[in-house]
A = this chain, B = another copy of it.
Amino acid sequence: MTRSTLPSPDAVPAEALRAVVDGRWARARQETREQLAANAEMRADPDLTSAQYREWITDSLKFLTSSGRPHTGFDPSVGGQGDVGGVVAAFAMLAYGDLSLLVKAGVQWGLFGGAVQVLGTERHHEQYLRKIIDGELLGCFAMTETGHGSDVQHLHTTATYDREAGEFVVHTPYPQARKEYIGNAARDGRMAVVFAQLITGDEKPGVHAFLVPLRDSDGKALPGVQIGDDGRKAGLNGVDNGRLAFDHVRIPRENLLNRFADVAPDGTYSSSIENETARFFSMLGTLVRGRISVAGGAGAATEKALTLAVRFGERRRQFANPATGEEIAVLDYLAHQQKLLPALATTFALHFTQDDLVQRMHDIQAPGAGPVGAREQRTLEQSAAGIKAIATWHATHTIQTCREACGGAGYLEENLLPALKADTDVFTTFEGDNTVLLQLLAKELLSDYGRTIKKGNPLEIAPLLGRQLAGVLAERTGAASLTRRLPFRGIDLTDRTRRRELLAVRREDTLAAAIRNLAPAMRKGNDEFAVFNSAQDLLLTAARAHVDTLVEASFADKLVTVDDPAVRALLERVYDLHVLTVIDRERAWYLETGRLTAAESRSIRPLVNGLCAELRPHARTLVDGFGVPDEWLACPMLDDEAWAPAPGRPAEPLTDQVETG
């Protein structure tokens, strides 16, 4: 594989790079950029109280509504355009602006509106969707409870059918069952989609979704509805997160969102999906868009942080070159490059991965898509879970690095990094705790060895490791895995094919290791949880290795489509840096398993350092490729005026908000 010459930075056409970055939803993205740029005065004062900031953000929703963007994502049957992919791609870019607005919009249209659309039927759509889309009916998605965040299948809110009244009685039996961290609850929400255990007669068919009015038209809580306030948070203080509890609140039977199941007036329960667990996870699965949106928002936030850090690193100078006496730009230091450039490479990789994910979701969910195969849906959910985890951890880690790379300036709210850090922190927790997500993904990867999908309790391993699996295990722990353990002699780490094979072999081997260690769980008498627990880290490793291959594949597939030779040469280097960074991170594993020799492993760091030096002059070109609007990057630490050194210039207005004696 010939290595093309890297062009000089000014020889890389910015529009061509932008077109590659924007991909299929270039139009939606460009429109969103323009709208963001035109509304840069929407930047909130960082010293607002929570009450003031919430009001600011609720008002900002109007801006979004008038842009027409939320409409595009809903189904044509309810007045939307069905541009599922476009709306998710555009939505993520709100992270370039204000993440509280991104989350508020996500709650309103993605979660609340999304639940009504995909879990409800025509009667719900006709009655509510238009008003939801237009921002007239603000609502909540009330699933999480204080006692049940990850294990929502076993939440405790109940909805008991009263046949005589033709109503469901929604009830919070004790404090741990209250709905918690619910966006739109503390201030604005008039209605909530409440997830509760459905009870009708003797039947308890599990968790279902119900429309529950919260406030009357004066904004006063309705009878039996108790609303609390989460108060100040680490970030996202423009979102009114709160608590909801219900004291025997009655709703009409028709308020059950009845796409997958229904209760007849006489109380008879029916569902198109017989198995309770399968039914619950089918409902959850339709909400995959929220998880994908969170990954997209995390990516966009990371892109903004890197843009700030790279621009700062180019102009910030400290310590003089002993030979020339000139102070050195901090981005010229190897250590600084090592902080930012591998992270930048991975950010590109995740950007293309996200685009593929959104594409797949669009293909499944857009109008006219046709019935979706179970396997296709499952694979989408698996990928969404894994990518959400990796993308949000990457965001948290990278934004922290960017803050530190910008020193004291990065600690001031006026320079934008503090809000990026504080607001994205919870992304590793909501829409699925990352550790639990990777575990669920691992479980799915294990179950792919068998023919039956067993969702539900991630601790239930034994059903997976049935007779079918026994055979697979025998194969894997026997000859086949011995063969695999032979070292890959002669890895040429400058060879892309070899690098890709290294990622693939790690995915295979880590999954095999997890299976081997879980085998004892099959044998009767063994403590299933203890066996699972002792192998939990192997499961997580296997899941992460799987996601690494998804990400590499998305980047490689993207490269093939790049026409402009200068852009392609540049992105090939970025791809190389990303893949080497993954291998570098996992060096110990490769050495322990004999997949790399010590000499091969030692060759990685010089390769990484060399790529950092090569890419340094292109760092600005690369971050500009993301196209974060300049209006949303404007901040004092990047202000050219403030940086002009002028020895001898008198001390004029040296500070703003000046107290002058």
Interface residues of A (CB under 8 A from B): 46-47, 49-50, 144, 146-151, 154, 156, 171-176, 178, 180-181, 215, 220-235, 243, 245-247, 317-323, 327-328, 332-336, 338, 396, 400, 403-404, 407-408, 410-414, 417-418, 421-422, 425-426, 428-430, 433-435, 439, 457-460, 462, 527-529, 533-534, 536-537, 540, 587-588, 591-594, 598, 601-602, 605, 609, 642-651, 653-661
Contact = CB atoms under 8 A, between A and B. Distances in A.
A228 B408 contact: no
A609 to B, nearest CB: 7
A651 B171 contact: yes
Contacts of A172: 651, 654
A614 B543 CA distance: 27
A657 B149 contact: no
Given A649-B173, A651-B226, A661-B221, A49 B50 contact: no
24 contacts: A146-B642, A150-B319, A172-B651, A173-B647, A174-B649, A175-B644, A178-B655, A226-B651, A226-B658, A226-B661, A227-B658, A228-B658, A228-B659, A231-B412, A234-B417, A321-B529, A322-B457, A323-B529, A335-B537, A408-B426, A408-B429, A411-B425, A534-B609, A588-B601
A400 B400 contact: yes
Contacts of A181: 408, 411
A410 B400 CA distance: 18
A47 B232 contact: yes
Contacts of A50: 47
B404 A429 contact: yes
A178 B46 CA distance: 24
Nearest to A178: B654
Given A173-B651, A435-B335, A229 B601 contact: no
A651 B233 contact: no
A80 B587 CA distance: 54
A174 B646 CA distance: 6
B323 A645 contact: no
Nearest to A147: B645
Contacts of A648: 173-174
Contact of A656 (B228, B593, B594): B228
* Shortest Cβ-Cβ A-B pairs, 4 listed: A228-B655, A234-B418, A221-B661, A587-B588
A256 B459 CA distance: 69
Given A536-B334, A591-B601, A150 B318 contact: yes
A609 B643 CA distance: 51
B404 A428 contact: yes
Contacts of A332: 533
A232 B601 contact: no
Nearest to A234: B418
A620 to B, nearest CB: 19
Nearest to A414: B231
Contacts of A235: 411
Given A147-B645, A328-B529, 14 more contacts: A149-B408, A173-B648, A176-B642, A176-B643, A176-B645, A226-B655, A228-B659, A232-B414, A234-B417, A328-B459, A411-B425, A422-B422, A587-B588, A588-B601
A533 B317 CA distance: 15
Contact of A598 (B46, B231, B591, B658): B591
A400 to B, nearest CB: 7
B533 A227 contact: no
